[in-house]
A and B are shown apart, each in its own frame.
Chain A
Amino acid sequence: MQNTYIPIPMKVDKVVTEDPEKTLRTYDLSFVKNSDLEQFQYLPGQFCEMSLLGMGESPFGIASSPTEEGFLRFTINRTGLVTNEIHNLRQGDTVGLRGPLGNWYPVEDFKGENVVIVGGGFAFTTLRSLLIYLLAHRENYGEITIIYGARNPDLFIYKDELETWLKRTDMKLHLTIDKPVDGWKHDTGFVPAVTEQLAPSAEKAWVVVCGPPVMIKYTLPVLEKLKFPDDRIITSLERRMKCGIGKCGRCNIGSQYVCIDGPVFSLEFLKTIPEAL
Chain B
Amino acid sequence: MVKALREEVKRLFEEKKVDLVIGWGKGSIPMTATPIFIRKAEDAEHLIWDETCSNNLAVYLTKDKRQLVKTNQKIGIVVKGCDGRSLVLYAVENQIKRENLVIIGVPCSGVIDKKKVLKQTAGKEVISARFEENRMTVEGRGFKTEIEKSEVLSHSCRNCNHPNAPVYDIFIGEPVKTESVGDVYPEVEAFEKLDSEARWKDMVESYSKCIRCYACRNVCPSCYCTECFVDQNDPQWIGKSPEITDTLIFHLGRNLHVAGRCVECGACERACPADIDLLKLNRKISKEILERFNFTAGLDINEKPAMASFCENEKQDFIMG
Indicate if A touches B (C-beta under 8 A): yes
Asked if A81 is at the interface of the complex by the 8 Å CB criterion, the answer is yes
In whole angstroms, what is the CA distance A80 to B234 when docked? Answer: 8
In whole angstroms, what is the CA distance A80 to B233 when docked? Answer: 10
Size category of the B interface is under 10
Closest residue of chain B to A80, judged by CB? B234
Closest residue of chain A to B236, judged by CB? A81
Binary interface profile of A, 137-180, with partner B (CB < 8 Å = 1, else 0)?
00000000000000000000000000000000000000000000
Binary interface profile of A, 184-197, with partner B (CB < 8 Å = 1, else 0)?
00000000000000
Chain A residues with Cβ below 8 Å from B233 are 81
Closest residue of chain A to B234, judged by CB? A81
Chain A residues with Cβ below 8 Å from B234 are 80-81
Closest residue of chain A to B233, judged by CB? A81
User: What is the minimal beta-carbon distance from A58 to any residue of chain B, in angstroms?
Assistant: 13
In whole angstroms, what is the CA distance A10 to B233 when docked? Answer: 27
User: What is the minimal beta-carbon distance from A73 to any residue of chain B, in angstroms?
Assistant: 27
**A60-95: which residues lie under 8 A (CB-CB) from chain B?**
80-81
User: What is the minimal beta-carbon distance from B227 to any residue of chain A, in angstroms?
Assistant: 15
Chain B residues with Cβ below 8 Å from A80 are 234
In whole angstroms, what is the CA distance A260 to B234 when docked? Answer: 28
In whole angstroms, what is the CA distance A273 to B320 when docked? Answer: 66
User: What is the minimal beta-carbon distance from B235 to any residue of chain A, in angstroms?
Assistant: 9
User: What is the minimal beta-carbon distance from A5 to any residue of chain B, in angstroms?
Assistant: 16
User: What is the minimal beta-carbon distance from A213 to any residue of chain B, in angstroms?
Assistant: 22
**B214-249: which residues lie under 8 A (CB-CB) from chain A?**
233-234
Chain B residues with Cβ below 8 Å from A81 are 233-234
User: What is the minimal beta-carbon distance from B80 to any residue of chain A, in angstroms?
Assistant: 39
User: What is the minimal beta-carbon distance from B232 to any residue of chain A, in angstroms?
Assistant: 11
In whole angstroms, what is the CA distance A80 to B236 when docked? Answer: 12
User: What is the minimal beta-carbon distance from B320 to any residue of chain A, in angstroms?
Assistant: 43
In whole angstroms, what is the CA distance A266 to B234 when docked? Answer: 36
Closest residue of chain B to A84, judged by CB? B234
**B44-81: which residues lie under 8 A (CB-CB) from chain A?**
none
User: What is the minimal beta-carbon distance from A258 to any residue of chain B, in angstroms?
Assistant: 21
In whole angstroms, what is the CA distance A79 to B143 when docked? Answer: 62
In whole angstroms, what is the CA distance A154 to B233 when docked? Answer: 30
In whole angstroms, what is the CA distance A80 to B232 when docked? Answer: 12
* A residues apposed to B, CB below 8 Å: 80-81
* B residues apposed to A, CB below 8 Å: 233-234
3 closest Cβ pairs, A-B complex:
A81-B234, A81-B233, A80-B234
Query: Can you sample 3 A-B contacts with CB below 8 Å?
Result: A80-B234, A81-B233, A81-B234
